[in-house]
């Protein structure tokens, strides 16, 4: 896909548009809307000049009054005795203060809001868009030919809508013109939000354009009932709707003496029910105990030097304890919550991988630690001018990938959670025996995972619970990869009558601020757990509690699933709860 410069505009453009009304309407759509009226328009002078006058007046009068009052104090003259000039100065001071309090900074605030709301999804500015067009955008769109299987409806008795029929026009003629312009490539789809200033309308227009371009219906994908403004420049670009995922509740989970109702967003039958049974067994045995023993997010840039010996010089510099305080001061300037904890280096030829670990408060912290790393790299560039920064991430972090460095050293929150389940509860609630559970855990979770060459996967299904809680609470679902690293241990205690169960999870990457946690549904789930937003009294307390709840829920899920397998109930349960009896042949596509 190459980029070609548009040909020069002909001088008879207006005449040309008169003979092509459709192009004229497209050109009109590309014009920027007239600017909205501002409060500063009512001022007789330009806003910056008015602000300057009142700013100067305020400080000049304040200096004059302070000077006069100093003289009165020296001469023992009462302060309440004022001359005409002093009275005028006081009135001027009050007037300028009122103005500055009410109007100073209007232009800045208006420009900031306008930039945030209209330009968040623009990849290029309007001038660049007018000079350059991607070949892909200018090329006429062709509808894909349905595959033979899609055309074969002999096995479906219900009527099926023909996606290749002419699309139904949108209610508004303006929107219809917009859709045609997007389909033809005259208007880039990503620019709709900035052009329209209405996120819902932009999503609606984009959705209709996608249906016409692909020839496929999006019926069943909801559009209404979602605040598209809330994801602008934050969570998702070019939206056309949203996916509905049911949220179930498992619990109460009795953890560290407190009860929690755990929200789980999933489409897998039996998962919530199984976790709920595990919570019941834990509750009946007196609850679980969870301990967070490490907390630090990591980012590892990679830099290159002309020689390996030169790279080793930076290696020794970074790992020298005498230099840590200086580097920490540079790093911590990125945020009031960022606190550099340690730096670990690894050499590969003339490439140096630098793994920074830092505390990030209640945020998951990837952006925070990346900004700190950028500060340190700029600082090091002065001492090592021959250092070439290859990338802000060199995969030594390691983010969203299974890695031994995370499994051994941890990333995010490292948590261990344990519970002692009585033999009576094992038999009556979990429907199995202590000896069967211990044997199954050794043969399946430990030996079986070792034979498979598993990395951090010494468990039954920790990823199930982690993913469900992550989606419900607005975490990054891709970080389920390392967050699900878990080893499940089961040991018989009290002469084999009871069982000690534990899960150790070294890389739970969660936050209670930023990203998807600010969306309404996800925020409600965090509020249900009592960890919504940042903890003002103790920074990082909410995110750490959420990590503990995740570990406690995994413990419940592990206990229940292992019991179902030991008792031979797994297949029976899934046949009962995870099989749809809905007749799909009656569903209209």
Is 427 part of the annotated catalytic residue set? no
Q: Is residue 39 part of a domain?
A: no
pLDDT digits (tens, 9 = 90+) for 285-340: 999 999 999 999 999 999 999 999 999 999 999 999 999 999 999 999 988 889 99
Catalytic pick among 175, 237, 268, 418:
268
Name the pTM for this structure: 0.72
pLDDT digits (tens, 9 = 90+) for 250-259: 999 999 999 9
pLDDT at 108 over 90: no
Q: Is residue 9 part of a domain?
A: no
Q: Is residue 116 part of a domain?
A: no
Is 237 part of the annotated catalytic residue set? no
Q: Is residue 196 part of a domain?
A: yes
Q: Is residue 154 part of a domain?
A: no
Residues 353 and 418 in one domain: no
Is 80 part of the annotated catalytic residue set? no
Residues 210 and 267 in one domain: no
Residues 441 and 564 in one domain: yes
Residues 357 and 237 in one domain: no
Residue 2 has a pLDDT of 42
Residues 522 and 536 in one domain: yes
CA distance 546 to 526: 9
Residues 503 and 556 in one domain: yes
CA distance 426 to 498: 8
Which residue from 206, 395, 388, 211 is spatially nearest to 299, judged by alpha carbons?
395
Residues 483 and 531 in one domain: yes
Residue 86 has a pLDDT of 83
Q: Is residue 531 part of a domain?
A: yes
The pLDDT confidence band at residue 67, using thresholds 50, 70 and 90, is: confident
Residues 262 and 330 in one domain: no
The C-alpha angle with vertex 203 and arms to 201 and 207, in degrees rounded to 5, equals 120
Query: What would the mean pLDDT of 556-560 be, rounded to a whole number?
Result: 97
Catalytic pick among 444, 476, 491, 500:
476
The C-alpha angle with vertex 582 and arms to 579 and 583, in degrees rounded to 5, equals 125
pLDDT at 544 over 50: yes
Residues 432 and 568 in one domain: yes
List beta partners, residue 249: 263
Catalytic pick among 72, 400, 444, 500:
400
Is 400 part of the annotated catalytic residue set? yes
Q: Is residue 129 part of a domain?
A: no
Q: Which of the pair, 86 or 45, is modelled with greater confidence? A: 86
Q: Which of the pair, 97 or 548, is modelled with greater confidence? A: 548
pLDDT at 409 over 80: yes
The pLDDT confidence band at residue 124, using thresholds 50, 70 and 90, is: very low
CATH of the domain at 206: 1.10.3270.10
Residues 343 and 204 in one domain: no
Number of domains in the chain: 4
Q: What are phi and psi of 163, to 5 degrees?
A: -70, -15
258-265 and 247-255 strand pairing: antiparallel
Judge whether 6 and 132 are in contact, CB under 8 Å.
yes
Query: What would the mean pLDDT of 194-199 be, rounded to a whole number?
Result: 93
Residues 499 and 445 in one domain: yes
Residues 87 and 228 in one domain: no
pLDDT at 360 over 70: yes
Residue 305 has a pLDDT of 97
Q: Is residue 474 part of a domain?
A: yes
Domain containing 71: what range? 49-100
């Amino acid at each position: 896909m190459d980029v070609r410069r548009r040909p020069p505009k002909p001088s008879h453009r207006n005449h040309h548009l008169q003979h092509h009304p459709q192009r004229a309407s497209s050109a009109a759509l590309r014009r920027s809307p007239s600017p909205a009226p501002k409060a500063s328009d009512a001022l007789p002078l330009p806003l910056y000049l008015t602000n300057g006058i009142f700013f100067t007046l305020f400080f000049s009068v304040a200096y004059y009054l302070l000077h006069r009052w100093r003289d009165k104090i020296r001469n023992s003259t009462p302060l309440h005795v004022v001359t005409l000039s002093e009275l005028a100065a006081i009135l001027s001071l009050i007037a300028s203060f009122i103005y500055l309090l009410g109007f100073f900074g209007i232009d800045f605030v208006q420009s900031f809001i306008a930039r945030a709301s209209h330009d968040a999804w623009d990849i290029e500015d309007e001038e660049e868009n007018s000079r350059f067009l991607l070949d892909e955008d200018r090329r006429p769109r062709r509808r894909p030919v349905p595959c033979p299987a899609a055309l074969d409806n002999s096995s479906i008795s219900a009527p099926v809508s023909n996606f290749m029929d002419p699309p139904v026009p949108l209610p508004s003629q303006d929107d219809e013109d917009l859709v045609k312009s997007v389909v033809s490539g005259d208007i880039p789809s990503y620019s709709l939000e900035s052009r329209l200033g209405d996120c819902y309308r932009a999503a609606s227009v984009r959705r209709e354009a996608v249906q016409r371009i692909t020839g496929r219906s999006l019926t069943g994908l909801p559009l209404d009932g979602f605040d598209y403004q809330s994801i602008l420049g934050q969570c998702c670009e070019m939206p056309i709707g949203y996916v509905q995922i049911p949220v179930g509740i498992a619990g109460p989970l009795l953890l560290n003496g407190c009860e929690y109702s755990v929200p789980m967003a999933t489409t897998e039958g039996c998962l919530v029910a199984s976790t709920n049974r595990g919570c019941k067994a834990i509750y009946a045995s007196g609850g679980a105990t969870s301990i967070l023993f490490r907390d630090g997010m990591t980012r590892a840039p990679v830099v290159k030097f002309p020689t390996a010996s030169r790279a080793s010089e930076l290696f020794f510099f970074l790992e020298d304890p005498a230099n840590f305080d200086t580097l920490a001061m540079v790093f911590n300037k990125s945020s009031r919550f960022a606190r550099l904890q340690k730096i670990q280096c690894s050499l590969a030829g003339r490439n140096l991988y630098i793994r920074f670990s830092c505390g990030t408060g209640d945020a998951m912290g990837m952006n925070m630690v990346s900004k700190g790393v950028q500060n340190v790299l700029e600082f090091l560039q002065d001492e090592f001018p021959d250092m070439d920064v290859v990338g802000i991430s060199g995969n030594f972090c390691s983010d969203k990938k299974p890695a031994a460095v995370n499994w051994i050293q941890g990333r995010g929150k490292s948590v261990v959670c344990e519970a002692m389940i009585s033999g009576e509860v094992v038999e009556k609630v979990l429907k199995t025996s202590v000896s069967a559970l211990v044997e199954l855990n050794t043969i399946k979770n430990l030996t079986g995972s070792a034979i498979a060459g598993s990395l951090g996967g010494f468990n039954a299904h920790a990823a199930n619970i982690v993913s469900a809680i992550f989606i419900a609470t607005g975490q990054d679902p891709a970080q389920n990869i390392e967050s699900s690293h878990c080893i499940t241990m089961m040991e018989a205690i009290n002469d084999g009558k009871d069982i000690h169960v534990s899960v150790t999870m070294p890389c739970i990457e969660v936050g209670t601020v930023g990203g998807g946690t600010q969306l309404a549904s996800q925020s409600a789930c965090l509020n249900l757990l009592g960890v919504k937003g940042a903890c003002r009294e103790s920074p990082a307390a909410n995110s750490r509690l959420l990590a503990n709840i995740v570990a406690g829920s995994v413990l419940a899920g592990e206990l229940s699933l292992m019991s179902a397998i030991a008792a031979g109930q797994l297949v029976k349960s899934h046949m009962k709860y995870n099989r749809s009896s809905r007749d799909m042949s009656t569903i209209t596509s």
